[in-house]
Amino acid sequence: MARFRTLIALGLVLALANFSYAAKGGGKRGKHPLRGTVATVSTDSMVVKVEQGKKKGGETTDRTFQLGADTKFEFVTIAKHAKGEKPEKTTAPASLSDLKPGERVQVSAGEGATVQKVSILKRAKGGKKASS
């Protein structure tokens, strides 16, 4: 009976510790970047159409993001690759003036209200796709 009480107490302590960690934002929920298409851009904000789910042609939601002086912009070029292989990515600096409606982007939010990084996604032109 004493072992049973000890196990119950230990389980309760672990459950409370996990709940406390999640309440402080220690988990990954909400921290991963969002991908979508730029709808509008201004000097201090942008609206991105984010697709719901993983299927193309699904329902989209407009999300407004605040841009600040510390927001970083970059071009990310993704090279063609064989199925099952990890794509090769190259990055280059970009600026707010490079961001235009219709561009595919990946938005990484920071701790505050402003966006930390905007990656403008491009596909590599030319080259042969490796056979699988």
The Cα-based distances of 103 to 99, 106, 129 in angstroms read 7, 10, 24
Q: Report pTM.
A: 0.65
Average pLDDT on 117-127 reads 82
Residue 98 has pLDDT above 70, yes or no: yes
Q: Is 38 helix (H, G, I), strand (E, B) or coil?
A: strand
pLDDT of res. 18: 62
Query: Which of the pair, 30 or 113, is modelled with greater confidence?
Result: 113
Give the pair of three-digit tokens for residue 92: 């280059």
| Sign of the CA dihedral with 48 first, then 54, 58, and 59 last | negative
Does position 56 have pLDDT exceeding 70, yes or no? no
| Beta carbons within 10 angstroms of residue 46's beta carbon | 24
Angle ∠(29,115,68) on CA atoms, nearest 5: 155
Q: Which residue has the higher pLDDT, 3 or 16?
A: 3
CATH class of the domain comprising 32-123: mainly beta
| Higher-confidence position of 17 and 103 | 103
Give 131's pLDDT tier (boundaries 50, 70, 90): very low
| pLDDT value of residue 121 | 93
Confidence label for 73 from pLDDT (cuts 50, 70 and 90): very high
By DSSP bridging, strand 72-78 and strand 115-123 are: parallel
Q: Angle 40-42-48 (CA atoms, 0-180°, nearest 5)?
A: 35
User: Which of 25-29, 32-36, 55-59, 64-68 bottoms out in mean pLDDT, i.e. has the lowest?
Assistant: 25-29
Structure tokens at 88: 């090769």
